[in-house]
């Protein structure tokens, strides 16, 4: 029997960390192979919260797009206390910016410039609602003011954010388009299922693939990320909504490279998954019989475009059901970045017929 092949419109990644400078030479080419456009997170060491930094960052990204490839970075602004209404207006007029990212202060990597109290950004949110800029949310609440121990348990942070902040946002800004990024819990799934049409969510490969048990295995030593990977019932709910064809959930890999050294020394939060991301989604959708019914294509190629108001891409990407052996790590110049799968094998691979894609989706695999 011939190996199964599937072909879909080339997807966009609605949540990626490309980082900056030298590392763009690694992250941008691998992103371009898999994705036609990508929502680029603004959490650089110096947050991207004004148009001149944004345009310079965008140019550095574009300078790393391999010749002959089409790639469009969908830029985002970081909501800091320095973000202004005029910047939002310029952002909208530029046509380069899809939305703004809300990081609760200190919730994750490079989020120290974030905002803990949304009452501090009422004018920003109102303007975004009026301009039709999307609010991209890292939905985790860190502290409980009413609890003497303060810090909320890591597994409850998403739920507490949804309970305490989402109702305020929705009541005050009923027409604001919101993406709850990288949802990780059954609670968030149920929230999205019952929310209105202007609220959507992205789901990462790692939250669909792993559970908290995996974090305590050999491969798991690099799996720390925000929000943390949760239990099997949470994963079950994420798989259920992702594979169901539900229109307001879609791909967003949250691929976030950290070096092995950063992981070992500081246990930095973030998982790099760009080379395997689509293969992992495929593996899961295949396991739950959700390819032939069209739900894989919806989640990967169309739901996000519809929510963002983008066309479906003309380019195609093709995959074949045959083993893919993941490298343990990716080496680029002096950077060593652990892979999401470790040296494990999965059962889907890129189809070699893709003219701009191949098995060695990367350089210097180990």
**Which chain residues interact with ligand NCD by CB under 6 A?**
17, 43, 108-110, 138, 225-226, 254, 256, 269-270
Q: What is the DSSP secondary structure assignment for residue 298, as one 8-state letter? A: I
Q: Is 130 tagged catalytic?
A: no
Query: Residue written as tokens 């709850």?
Result: 180
Q: Which of 254, 289, 292, 314 is catalytic?
A: 254
Q: Which does 269 bind (CB under 5 to 8 A by kind): Zn ion, ligand NCD, none?
A: ligand NCD
Residue 337 CB, nearest approach to ligand NCD (Å):
12
Residue 314 CB, nearest approach to ligand NCD (Å):
30
Q: How far apart are CA 201 and CA 183, in angstroms?
A: 7
Q: State how far the alpha carbon of 102 is from the alpha carbons of 84, 254, 265, 331, 361, in Å.
A: 14, 15, 27, 32, 32
Q: Which does 79 bind (CB under 5 to 8 A by kind): Zn ion, ligand NCD, none?
A: none
Axis crossing angle, helix 51-62 with helix 24-34, rounded to the nearest 10 = 70
Decide whether 10 or 182 has the Cβ nearer to ligand NCD.
Answer: 182
By CB under 5 A, is residue 158 in contact with Zn ion?
no
Decide whether 89 or 336 has the Cβ nearer to ligand NCD.
Answer: 336
Helix (H) or strand (E) holding 238: helix 232-243
Decide whether 8 or 228 has the Cβ nearer to ligand NCD.
Answer: 228
Residue closest to ligand NCD, measured at CB: 270
Residue 203 CB, nearest approach to ligand NCD (Å):
13
Reply yes or no: is the peptide bond before residue 281 cis, omega within 30 of 0. Answer: no
Q: How far apart are CA 141 and CA 146, in angstroms?
A: 13
Q: How far apart are CA 12 and CA 18, in angstroms?
A: 14
Residue 17 CB, nearest approach to ligand NCD (Å):
4
Contacts of Zn ion in 48-107 (CB under 5 A): none
Neighbouring C-beta atoms of residue 281, cutoff 10 Å: 25
Residue 40 CB, nearest approach to Zn ion (Å):
10
Decide whether 17 or 33 has the Cβ nearer to ligand NCD.
Answer: 17
By CB under 5 A, is residue 254 in contact with Zn ion?
yes
Residue 138 CB, nearest approach to ligand NCD (Å):
5
Please give the structure tokens belonging to residue 232.
């099997």
Q: How many residues bind Zn ion (CB under 5 A)?
A: 1
Please give the structure tokens belonging to residue 212.
């908290």
- Of 70-78, 190-198, 249-257, 276-284, which segment contacts Zn ion by CB under 5 A? 249-257
Residue 154 CB, nearest approach to Zn ion (Å):
16
By CB under 5 A, is residue 140 in contact with Zn ion?
no
Q: Which does 270 bind (CB under 5 to 8 A by kind): ligand NCD, Zn ion, none?
A: ligand NCD
Decide whether 270 or 338 has the Cβ nearer to ligand NCD.
Answer: 270
The residues, any chain, with a CB within 8 Å of residue 148's CB and separated by 6 or more, are: none
Please give the structure tokens belonging to residue 317.
């990407």
Question: Which residue, among 230, 234, 224, has the nearest Cα to 271 in the 3D structure?
Answer: 224
Decide whether 202 or 301 has the Cβ nearer to ligand NCD.
Answer: 202
Decide whether 77 or 291 has the Cβ nearer to Zn ion.
Answer: 77
Secondary structure of residue 151 in the 3-state scheme: strand
Q: Which does 127 bind (CB under 5 to 8 A by kind): Zn ion, ligand NCD, none?
A: none
Q: Which does 110 bind (CB under 5 to 8 A by kind): Zn ion, ligand NCD, none?
A: ligand NCD
Q: How far apart are CA 182 and CA 239, in angstroms?
A: 13
What is the maximum span of the chain, computed from C-alpha positions, in angstroms? 63
Q: How far apart are CA 366 and CA 332, in angstroms?
A: 11
Total residue length of the chain: 366
Question: Are the C-beta atoms of residues 364 and 345 closer than 8 Å to each other?
Answer: no
Active site residues: 254
Q: Which residues bind Zn ion (CB under 5 A)?
A: 254
């Amino acid at each position: 029997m011939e190996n199964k092949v599937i072909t879909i419109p080339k997807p966009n990644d609605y949540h990626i960390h490309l980082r900056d400078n030298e590392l763009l030479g690694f992250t941008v080419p691998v992103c371009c192979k898999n994705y036609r456009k990508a929502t680029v997170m603004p959490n650089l060491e110096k947050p991207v919260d004004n148009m001149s930094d944004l345009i310079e960052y965008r140019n550095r990204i574009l300078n790393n797009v391999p010749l002959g490839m089409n790639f469009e970075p969908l830029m985002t602004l970081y909501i800091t206390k320095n973000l202004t209404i005029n910047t939002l207006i310029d952002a909208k007029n530029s046509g380069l910016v899809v939305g703004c990212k809300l990081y609760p202060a200190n919730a994750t990597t490079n989020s120290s410039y974030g905002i803990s109290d949304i009452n501090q950004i009422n004018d920003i949110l109102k303007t975004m609602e009026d301009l039709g800029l999307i609010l991209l949310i890292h939905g985790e609440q860190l502290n409980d003011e009413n609890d003497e121990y303060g810090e909320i348990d890591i597994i409850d942070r998403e739920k507490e954010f949804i309970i305490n902040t989402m109702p305020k946002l929705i009541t005050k800004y009923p027409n604001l388009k919101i993406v709850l990024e990288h949802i990780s819990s059954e609670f968030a799934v149920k929230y999205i299922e019952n929310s209105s049409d202007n609220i959507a969510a992205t789901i990462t490969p790692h939250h669909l693939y792993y559970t908290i048990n995996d974090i305590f295995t050999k491969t798991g030593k690099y799996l720390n990320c925000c929000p943390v990977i949760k239990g099997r019932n949470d994963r079950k709910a994420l798989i259920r909504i992702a594979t169901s064809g539900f229109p307001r959930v879609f791909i967003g890999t949250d691929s976030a490279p950290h070096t092995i050294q950063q992981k070992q020394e500081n246990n930095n939060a973030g998982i790099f998954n760009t080379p395997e991301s689509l293969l992992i989604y495929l593996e899961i959708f295949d396991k739950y019989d959700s390819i032939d019914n069209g739900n894989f294509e919806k989640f990967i190629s169309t739901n996000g475009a519809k929510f963002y108001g983008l066309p479906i891409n003309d380019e195609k990407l093709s995959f074949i059901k045959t083993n893919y052996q993941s490298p343990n790590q990716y080496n680029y110049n002096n950077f060593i970045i652990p892979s999401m799968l470790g040296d494990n094998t999965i059962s889907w691979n890129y189809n070699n017929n893709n003219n701009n894609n191949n098995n060695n989706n990367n350089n210097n695999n180990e």
